[in-house]
């Protein structure tokens, strides 16, 4: 004859198993809350964990891309500033050419102007050899040293590479990272290719006594200098539009990063409200089963026998 359909040890075993399951679930929920992450190891949800890894990798690489974009942006800003200085010098050279072109000037005065132009020539070459944020030639493409050097006759000669090279901005986008010297220094002067430095140097030499009619030479140089200014301004526009392109790309990356963060939070984050409610529910059931266990286990027939 059996009073209950179970034995004492079966009752204890069953209660132990049930409460152990509840306790385990409560602890898992508590862990999710305290970590703020739903997954503590991949096997809890392999698909989500793999997705989180992919998102984390994209995040990491995007951070680098944005760093690279910032770097390209600062280099282009430096190039822009250098180009502005370039145009300032050309405008000054043009003013000097106008003065020298006037017949009221004496040859000695013209020679003085020629001296200032020679200084401008030096400055232009110095500017063309300006350094970027990493200390490399700003207008030398991917050369390791200077962009320009003087040859035997004192002319500036480009020794950089033909292209500035591209820098990846991520998502398959890339940008030409700078401007090479020849792109703005060399220009087409009424059908003859020439360069700004040569124009200024020729004018300086002419005013310094290299020309039989320095005033005419100065007037001739005016057109070339105007063309040179155009070339520099055009390049400045190109640099500006590249900067805008970088801004656009960075903005896009930021948006994508936000999307990724949202997805990460959805996949791997703990839904605090939901989890707390779940924990409360488990705790309630656990408390109830503990209470009922202690009442049931305290109920023994031996207590009633006297």
Partner 1 sequence: MASDLLSIAKSGARTARIALDVTAQNIANASSEGYVRRSVQMEEVAAAGGYGRIGDISLSGVRVDRVVRNADLFRQAEVRRTGADSARINAEVAGLENIETAVEQTGVFQSIVDFEASLQRLAADPVDPSLRASVMEEARTMTRTLNIASTSLDAVGNGLRFEAASDVEQVNLLGGELARVNLRLARAADASSDQTQLLDRRDLLLQQLSEHVDVSASINADHTVEVRIGGTAGPQLVSGGDSYPFAMATAGDGTISFTLDGAAVTPLSGSLVGRGQALEKLVQIGDDLDTIAADLIATVNGAQATGAALDGSAGQPMLSGTGAADIALAFNDGAGIATAPAGSPAGSRDPGNLDALRSALTASDPAGAMDALLFDISGTVAGRSLTRDAIDTIAGTARIALQAQAGVDLDEEAVNLIRFQQAFQASGRVMQVASDLFDTLLGIR
Residues that bind partner 1 (CB under 8 A): 1-10, 12-14, 17, 41-47, 49-50, 53-54, 56-57, 60-61, 63-65, 67-68, 71-72, 134, 136, 142-145, 161, 165, 167-168, 300-302, 305
Q: How far is the CB of 36 from partner 1 (least distance, A)?
A: 19
8-state DSSP, 269: B
Q: Which is nearer to partner 1, 23 or 53 (CB)?
A: 53
Q: How far is the CB of 133 from partner 1 (least distance, A)?
A: 9
User: Residue 240: exposed, middle, or buried by beta-carbon count in 10 A (0-12, 13-18, 19+)?
Assistant: middle
Q: How far is the CB of 228 from partner 1 (least distance, A)?
A: 28
256 touches 61 (CB < 8 A): no
Q: How far is the CB of 68 from partner 1 (least distance, A)?
A: 5
Q: Which residues pair with 149 in a beta bridge?
A: 157
Cα(132)–Cα(176) distance, integer angstroms:
14
Cα(257)–Cα(55) distance, integer angstroms:
9
Q: How far is the CB of 304 from partner 1 (least distance, A)?
A: 8
Q: Which is nearer to partner 1, 54 or 254 (CB)?
A: 54
Q: How far is the CB of 88 from partner 1 (least distance, A)?
A: 29
Q: Which is nearer to partner 1, 61 or 244 (CB)?
A: 61
66 touches 253 (CB < 8 A): yes
Q: Which is nearer to partner 1, 73 or 236 (CB)?
A: 73
> Which among 261, 251, 198, 258 is positioned nearest to 224, based on CA atoms?
198
Q: Give pairs for 113-117: CB < 8 Å, separation 24+.
A: 113/207, 114/203, 114/204, 114/205, 114/206, 114/207, 114/208, 114/209, 114/214, 115/204, 115/208, 117/93, 117/200, 117/203, 117/204, 117/207
Cα(267)–Cα(159) distance, integer angstroms:
54
Q: How far is the CB of 301 from partner 1 (least distance, A)?
A: 4
Q: Which is nearer to partner 1, 31 or 115 (CB)?
A: 31
Q: Which is nearer to partner 1, 273 or 301 (CB)?
A: 301
Q: Which is nearer to partner 1, 60 or 261 (CB)?
A: 60
Q: Which tokens is 29 given?
A: 């929920």
């Amino acid at each position: 004859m059996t009073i209950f359909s179970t034995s004492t040890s079966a009752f204890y075993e069953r209660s132990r198993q049930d409460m152990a399951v509840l306790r385990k679930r409560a602890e898992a929920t508590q862990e999710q809350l305290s970590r703020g992450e739903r997954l503590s190891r991949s096997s809890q949800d392999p698909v989500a964990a793999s997705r989180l890894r992919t998102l984390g990798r994209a995040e990491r690489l995007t951070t680098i891309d944005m760093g690279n974009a910032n770097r390209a942006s600062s280099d282009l800003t430096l190039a822009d500033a250098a180009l502005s200085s370039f145009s300032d010098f050309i405008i000054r050279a043009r003013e000097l050419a106008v003065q020298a072109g006037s017949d009221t000037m004496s040859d000695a005065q013209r020679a003085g102007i020629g001296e200032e132009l020679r200084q401008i020539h030096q400055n232009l070459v110095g500017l063309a050899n300006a350094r970027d944020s990493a200390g490399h030639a700003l207008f030398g493409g991917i050369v390791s040293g200077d962009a320009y050097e003087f040859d035997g006759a004192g002319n500036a000669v480009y020794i950089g590479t033909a292209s500035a090279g591209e820098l990846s901005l991520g998502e398959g986008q890339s940008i030409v990272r700078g401007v090479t010297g020849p792109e703005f220094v060399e220009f087409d002067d009424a059908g003859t290719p020439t360069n700004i430095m040569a124009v200024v140097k020729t004018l300086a030499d002419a005013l310094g006594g290299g020309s039989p009619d320095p005033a005419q030479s100065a007037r001739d140089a005016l057109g070339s200098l105007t063309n040179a200014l155009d070339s520099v301004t055009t390049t400045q526009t190109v640099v500006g539009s590249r900067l805008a392109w970088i801004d656009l790309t960075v903005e896009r990356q930021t948006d994508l990063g936000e999307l990724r963060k949202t997805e990460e939070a959805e996949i791997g984050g703990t839904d605090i409200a939901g989890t707390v409610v779940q924990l409360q529910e488990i705790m309630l059931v656990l408390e109830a089963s503990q209470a009922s266990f202690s009442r049931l286990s305290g109920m023994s027939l031996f207590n009633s026998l006297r």
